[in-house]
Each structure stands twice: as C-alpha cells, then as structure tokens.
Amino acid sequence: MSWLLPVVGAEYVLRWLPRGTHRWRRAPKSAELDVLLARGDLQIKRRSGVRFYPNTRRLSMTGIVGVHYMLFAAKPDGSAAGMEDVRRAQVAARVQRGVGG
C-alpha cells in the first residue's frame, strides 16, 4: 500500500505523470533489465537510486536502488545507448513477460 498514495497522487491528482505510468507488471525487474541490456551489447556504467520530494518537486540521487532508480548504459566502444536500443530492450521485456510487444 505504500505505492498507492504516490501513484494516485502523481498520476491522477497532480497529473505530473501520464496515467498508467506505474504498471508494475510491465516493468522489468532489475536483474531482468541487466540481462536485456547485456543481450543488446550494453554495459551498465552507473546505477543510482532516485528520491522525489513532492513538496519541492525535486529529485535527489541515493544509494537505494530497490524501487526508483535510473541507470546509464553504454556500448563497449564507449558510445551511449540510443533510443532505438532502449526501445528494443523495452519491447523484449514486454514480450518476455507476455504483455505484448
């Protein structure tokens, strides 16, 4: 239930995020994302937790990556992953989880 207030508040009350952003069954777990990125020949360079402060509408980075986190991945030659690489990983995650493509 700890997710209820942030989800309803952010998506429906304050409209900071598009409705449906928090569809947990569509989101790959951290370990699944690691595998998908590796399959796409991407290496995780940095992962950081994210904390949101609703009263100031600011974010800060934390060491806690259990729920809200972001990461940076790059190809072995050092180039950053492009949006097409990200889209392929997202589609692969949905297909793998059986929620469409």
Q: Is residue 60 part of a domain?
A: yes
Q: Give me the mean pLDDT over the 17-28 stretch.
A: 74
Q: Is residue 18 part of a domain?
A: no
Q: Is residue 20 part of a domain?
A: no
* Helices first, then strands: H and E counts in the chain: 3, 3
Q: Is residue 41 part of a domain?
A: yes
Q: Is residue 52 part of a domain?
A: yes
Question: What is the domain range of residue 32?
Answer: 25-97
Choose between 74 and 83: higher pLDDT: 74
pLDDT digits 0-9 by tens, 26-82? 777 778 888 888 888 888 888 888 888 878 878 888 888 877 788 888 888 766 656
Query: pTM here?
Result: 0.53
Of 57, 39, 35, 59, the residue nearest 49 (C-alpha):
59
Residue 3 is predicted with a pLDDT of 62
